[in-house]
Amino acid sequence: MSLPAFSVRRPVFTVMVTLIAVLLGAVSLSRLSVDLMPDVEYPFLTVAVNYPNASPEAMEELVARPIERAVATVPGLEEITSGSAEGVTNVQLRFDWGTDLAVAANDVRDALDKEFEDPPEGADRPQIRKFDTANMPIMLIGLSTGMDPVALRRLIDDRLTPAIQQIPGVAHVDPWGEPQREVQVRLLPERLQALDLSPGEVATAIEEANLNRPGGSIKRGHTDYTVRVPGRFRSLDQMRETVIARRGDALIELGQIAEIRNTQQEPTRLVRIDGEPGVRLAVRKQSGANTVEVAERLHREIERLRGRHPQIRLTPLFDQSEYIQRSITNATRSMLLGALLAVAVLLVFLRSLRATAVVATAIPVAVITTFGLVYFAGFTLNLMTIGGLALGVGLMVDSAIVVLENMVRRRESEGLAPAEAAVRGTGEVAAPVVAGTLTTLAIFLPMLFAEELTGQLFRQLAWVVAFALLAALLAALTLVPMLGGRMLGAGAHPAPVPLRRLGDGIGRTLKRLESRYQALLDRTLRRPWTVVGLALAALGAAAAALPQIGTEFMPRTDESEVQINLEMPPGTRLETVDRATRTAERVAAAEVPEAEVTVTSVGTSGYRPSESATGYVRVGLPPRGERERSSAEVAEALREALGAVPGAEVRVHTRRPFFMRILSGQEEALAVEVRGFELDTLQALAREVERRIADIDGLTRTRLSRKGGAPQELIQVDRQRAADRGVAIADITGIVETAVGGRVASRYLDAGDEVDIRVQFRDNQVLPREDLLDLRVPADGDRLVRLGSVASLEVGEGPTVIDRKDQTRIVSVEANLAGRDMGSVVADVRAAQADLPVPDNYEVLIGGDWEEQQEAFSSLFLGIALALVLVYMVMASLYESLRDPLIVMGSVPLAGIGVVAMLLATGTTLNSQSLLGCVILVGIVVNNAILLVDQANRLRAEGRGLHAALREAGRRRLRPILMTATTTMLALVPLALGLGEGGETQAPMARAVIGGLFVSTAITLVLIPAVYALVHRRRVATA
């Protein structure tokens, strides 16, 4: 007994099984986590080493290069990059996609233990960190207030941070820009000189006077007592009374030689929120937690904290959940609207409410059942899974349309009973329906095995579409014949009058179309070579127009944010950078009235602490649907308004997608990499590249990844003199560090908080050079000598950061794109540097997003080739023929004509999404040809002639072909419009599918019969 026959005879069983699947899917939907994109494990490991006070050159020579050599042979390693700044080196290891990072981390650890087992003295052991997208902040909270900085720090540590961290799903809260409390012991240089004291002696005395150690235990009768010596400072006054030294009979107290303040550290970074000083709190969620649910709890807690602490202003600066919710809602709306359009098409074509209901049942059954797969596979509800459903919603009814149309035709033409018509009609088209579904499924197989980013992102989409189509196929072979056998025989329920009139009109149009199509087929079968020639000519024209389409890695998205970056020469004081940044703030406030929030950061980034001369203004915009200008238009307006800021390089750009910033490691989309060894040569080459490409249309302001050297004052020690006087180099560096940078001598316990006690010179930031050389350093015989007697002071420059890539130094020329696609800009960049003289052992390469684009395109083109092969193999297996599948495959290249025309008409680039649409087209466009070829084969098997069989096959299959193609295209229209948040992401894919399917359907109806006639005419003639 066939599956349709079983379903028709066992309706209760069929309905119950369907309801079980739907129920499981509905329950799964209620438990799904919501996220923006699939959880991608980026193949990155970072090896971090801290070596306090080491110069960038020392960090490169003693840390970066040995680590690079040690890990170079680790299996699966694809790329090594490193950055060495003062006191810190970060080596980033990029592995092949799909690498098990736990195994890779062990391999890296083993390599370091073997080849880097003895790090420089004073350097920390290498720390291996794995990059996890779950650790990225889901919300940034701005805190502004006029409170005293010390009181604010206590409030953050004691009240705000614990309250937020207690929220279920929150993993960590990271304050940024908050004042760092410390007790400063500001030494008076003139008094130290008068008393012949060194800063080191003061720091040591404080450390020894602030101890709290156990003294053991002692027995008293029947009790054991713990003996302790509570020697920690209980107040600042007690600290001031600490005896530092003795001069004769006089005791020298700390308060006599220093000012003591309970204050905050010298700021190295500033944060402002809407122009007011503030603090930024980054909230990270636990791995696996639902982003939207955690964000909702955070908003409730923020409201509660506002009520408890009215003296502060808490403002969500960035909420990932809002963009996620808007994007998912928009994608869901597109899916539902597409489903409604598909149902409307069915109603118009079928002109019966019952018939439409029978076919449309496949949509909710397939969609809801698919949520079960999403849940049990560990996927989330994201743009890719929802996009997969939106893509498949039009395909879900294709099988049901073919089945129902054939059931109705058999019943009307042969007068069969409804149940018998359902069984026979379904059985007749079961093979082509299964073949069409299997060919569509075959195109997703290469995607499931792809390891690059495109595979990681699109894998969930492939699974969702594949499962939805399988569910729709089962519904078409079971539920549709069961419902059709019962509902269609109970009397027709006509559509509403307006739709019925429209349907009648379309019916008359279809009859005229059928007659004209028959006439066209007659002419086609008389001149098949002419049809083939015209099709090839159209294909050649499309190929000629292909270079006119721009290329890029991923479609540009509007993430409702514009960023202004300012850079000033290394060594520029924080106050100077802040003044320039305030200028950018004022311009942004005037030019962007629609801004919701403006966040300013000035100072160090933490990763590269020596790059302090940077300012950053983030302008948050309302959702795309609530403003007239796009973020790109806002950025362009800001570029024109800002112009040139004296002494600063200014760059304005929109926020790029997160995964793009991670892959390229930079905010800029394009990077021209200059590789070599000598920093001066690299710098000169990079400046020449920058000069040549600066005026290329589409490139925003360029920048060099490495600026000039940072100004330094070098204390050059005369080693011979130092040896003669018994002065150790270590003592000199320690004394200078204490006087200028400050030395943490101990910790002060204040109301339960431990605060650093920092010993430094008063006015240490503006210490005259003469005072530096007047420092006293220890010498032999417990005496102190003047630093100037064993050293001199020179002014020079030193690199702030040394970047390396694949074990060679690198300086990059970086820029963002505006108004042009990546492919055309890269072509101009290559032309501009074609005659650039490059010394031996140096090279100039194009990196950034271009590298990722090349990898993604290679993977997708391979996917298209594999899809073609797999589709052919599936059809050959089903037809048990090698020739008929080739006839069907003739419809595939024709889709390229529509793709090129649609992309050109809509100004869409050829990117990963539009190429994915081309992959999907391979499996879709053959369905129409399969219906024609299968019907022609059946009619010829019944004894009809070649031309008669083709004419009748065309007549019978014209309506289902038009219905399936129209429902698929109209269901994708909402997605193709790209409206709303996140709509730009999948619009290119939908446009490519619509254009390719439209043209392919139109040409296939003529070309496939022509090719079939040519192939089988020759076979008949041969026979």
User: Residues of 1001-1014 as b/e, b for ≥16 C-beta within 10 angstroms?
Assistant: bebbbbbbbbbbbb
Q: Yes or no: say if 818 and 636 are a contact pair by the CB < 8 Å rule.
A: yes
Element (H, E) at 716: strand 710-717
Out of 125-139, 626-640, 658-672, 729-743, give the one with best mean pLDDT. 626-640
Is 499-548+881-1022 a CATH 1.20.1640.10 domain?
yes
Collect contacts of 413-419 with beta carbons under 8 A, ≥24 apart. Answer: 417/489, 418/484, 418/485, 418/486, 418/488, 418/489, 419/8, 419/485, 419/486, 419/489
pLDDT at residue 653, rounded to an integer: 84
Q: Yes or no: say if 807 and 65 are a contact pair by the CB < 8 Å rule.
A: yes
The CA-atom distances, in angstroms, between 97 and each of 26, 517, 859 are: 34, 51, 12
The encoded tokens of residue 994 equal 């619509």
Give the whole-angstrom CA distance, residue 228 versus residue 1021.
111
Q: Yes or no: say if 484 and 423 are a contact pair by the CB < 8 Å rule.
A: no
CATH architecture, domain defined by 198-256+711-798: 2-Layer Sandwich (3.30)
Location of structure tokens 């997208």: 133
The residue with greater pLDDT, 505 or 470, is 470
Q: Give 537-582 pLDDT, tens digit per residue.
A: 999 999 999 989 988 888 887 878 898 988 888 778 888 888 999 9
- Among candidate residues 918, 920, 925, 919, the one with its CA nearest the CA of residue 902: 918
Location of structure tokens 């925003």: 700
**Helix, strand or coil for residue 86?**
coil
Give the whole-angstrom CA distance, residue 611 versus residue 358.
66
pLDDT at residue 665, rounded to an integer: 53
The residue with greater pLDDT, 449 or 85, is 85
Numbered ranges of CATH 1.20.1640.10 in the chain: 1-17+351-488, 499-548+881-1022
Mean pLDDT lowest among 125-139, 361-375, 485-499, 955-969: 485-499
Give the whole-angstrom CA distance, residue 442 versus residue 872.
10
Mean pLDDT, range 943-962, rounded to an integer: 85
Is 1-17+351-488 a CATH 3.40.50.2300 domain?
no
Band of the pLDDT at 1020, cuts 50, 70, 90?
A: very low
pLDDT at residue 47, rounded to an integer: 93
Q: Give 841-884 pLDDT, tens digit per residue.
A: 899 999 888 888 888 888 888 888 888 888 888 888 877 888 88
Numbered ranges of CATH 3.30.2090.10 in the chain: 198-256+711-798
Mean pLDDT, range 450-475, rounded to an integer: 83
Q: Yes or no: say if 366 and 475 are a contact pair by the CB < 8 Å rule.
A: yes
- CA dihedral in degrees (409, 411, 416, 418; nearest 10)? 130
Please name the amino acid found at residue 760.
Answer: Q
User: What are phi and psi for residue 778, nearest 5 degrees?
Assistant: -65, 145
Q: Give 26-84 pLDDT, tens digit per residue.
A: 999 888 888 877 877 778 899 999 887 788 888 999 999 999 999 998 999 999 999 88
Q: Give 690-748 pLDDT, tens digit per residue.
A: 999 988 988 887 888 877 667 778 888 888 888 888 888 888 888 888 888 788 888 88
pLDDT at residue 607, rounded to an integer: 45
User: Residues of 462-482 as b/e, b for ≥16 C-beta within 10 angstroms?
Assistant: bbbbbbbbbbbbbbbbbbbbb
Mean pLDDT lowest among 578-587, 717-726, 827-836, 1013-1022: 1013-1022
Location of structure tokens 């970056």: 565
> Distance between alpha carbon 707 and the CA centroid of its chain, in Å?
28
Please check the confidence at residue 180 and state whether its pLDDT lies above 80. Answer: no
The CA-atom distances, in angstroms, between 908 and each of 448, 656, 854, 899, 985 are: 26, 18, 18, 10, 12
**3-class secondary structure per residue, 12-38:** HHHHHHHHHHHHHHHHHHHHCCECCCC
Q: Yes or no: say if 241 and 255 are a contact pair by the CB < 8 Å rule.
A: yes
Out of 446-460, 589-603, 796-810, give the one with best mean pLDDT. 589-603
pLDDT at residue 664, rounded to an integer: 52
User: The domain 44-130: what is its CATH number?
Assistant: 3.30.70.1430
Please name the amino acid found at residue 335.
Answer: M
Q: Tell me the pLDDT of the chain averaged across its residues.
A: 84
Task: Give the single-character DSSP code of 699.
Answer: B
pTM: 0.77
Give the whole-angstrom CA distance, residue 455 versus residue 43.
13
The residue with greater pLDDT, 105 or 706, is 105
